[in-house]
Amino acid sequence: MTPLILTDATEAAAAVADRIVSLVQSKPDAVLGLATGATMEPVYAAVIAAHRAGRVSFSRVSSFNLDEYVALPTEHPGSYRSTMNRLLFEHIDIDPARTHVPDGMANDTDAAAEAYERQILQAGGIDLQLLGIGRNGHIGFNEPGSRLDSRTRRVELHAETLTANRAFFEDGGVPQQAITMGIATILSARSIIVLATGAAKKAAINQALAGFFTPACPASALVGHPDVTWIVDPAAAPDAEAA
Ligand code: GLP
């Protein structure tokens, strides 16, 4: 569980983008698990650049995003569906019908969550899951206290998450609930890359890489997965004894 420490956030994002591009080059119908958050923005910019340079086509790729806010209209610029369209999907040749984001507007969120799990299975499972990490150690929207066997479900967001994500909402009205893949859903991916940049993530990274699962830090659940790559910048790098 030694992270790759790259020179800065741009290099770290480029390394993640390279892995996505390599996977799709070798498996053109790959199933990608995608994430939102400011950390991912330079990753998607680098993926778009690779596509524009003719290095990779996404025409046969499927994608599943980790999470979505509940009761936030899809057209709202803060919804993860519109964020993904704006930052990635509209700029590459992926088939929009093969891009999946949990349906936060569903009348029956339990049924929508179950349907999402089924869709992932029907697609053959996720080849590569991209993950950021919350300041409180959350992955997707699995907040501290989430169970190891959790699957896609409706969750309440913790106060620190609401504060962190308020920046994405001009009116400050960040939704308080979300639908997220569960920890077990995430652990079902064949491989996982975690990207963390900036000093605000250092404490979470330290806990995540301590080598054992603690419910206080959902990212620590990744200790149980055989193929996880951690990519950080120097500011987010763990203390030597935790690495
Ligand atoms: C959000 C998302 C997570 C993301 C995390 C970090 O709440 N649900 O998937 O990894 O917070 O976001 P950021 O990169 O903006 O710090």
158 is catalytic: no
The set of residues, in sequence order, having a beta carbon less than 8 Å from that of 145 and lying 6+ positions away, is 215, 216
- Global pTM reads 0.96
Question: At 53, which helix (H) or strand (E)?
Answer: none
| Whole-angstrom distance, CA of residue 136 vs CA of residue 143 | 8
**How many angstroms does the Cα of residue 16 sit away from the middle of ligand 1?**
16
User: What pLDDT was estimated at residue 242?
Assistant: 44
Q: Whose CA is nearest to atom 9 of ligand 1?
A: 140
Residues 6+ apart with CB under 8 A from 188: 120, 125, 126
Task: Based on the residue annotation, tell me whether 142 is a catalytic residue of this protein.
Answer: no
CB atoms within 10 A of CB 116: 25
Element (H, E) at 196: strand 191-196
Dist. CA 201–CA 188, nearest whole Å: 24
Would you write out the chain's pLDDT as a tens digit for each of its 243 residues? 789 999 999 999 999 999 999 999 999 999 999 999 999 999 999 999 999 999 999 999 999 999 999 999 999 999 999 999 999 999 999 999 999 999 999 999 999 999 999 999 999 999 999 999 999 999 999 999 999 999 999 999 999 999 988 888 887 789 999 999 999 999 999 999 999 999 999 999 999 999 999 999 999 999 989 999 999 999 999 986 444
The pLDDT of residue 65 = 98
Pocket test for ligand 1, best of 34, 39, 43, 79 (most atoms within 8 A of CB): 39
Task: Based on the residue annotation, tell me whether 85 is a catalytic residue of this protein.
Answer: no
Q: What is the pLDDT of residue 2?
A: 87
- Ligand 1 midpoint to CA 36 (Å): 6
Note if 67 is an active site residue: yes
Give me the CATH code for the 4-232 domain, please: 3.40.50.1360
pLDDT at 241: 44
Our measurement of the distance from residue 111's CA atom to the centroid of its chain's CA atoms, rounded to an integer in Å, reads 22
pLDDT at residue 137, rounded to an integer: 97
Cβ neighbours of residue 43 closer than 8 Å, sequence gap 6 or more: 13, 16, 17, 20, 130, 195
Q: Which two tokens stand for residue 9?
A: 């956030």
Residues in contact with ligand 1 by the CB-under-6-Å rule are 35-39, 66-67, 132-134, 140-141, 161, 165
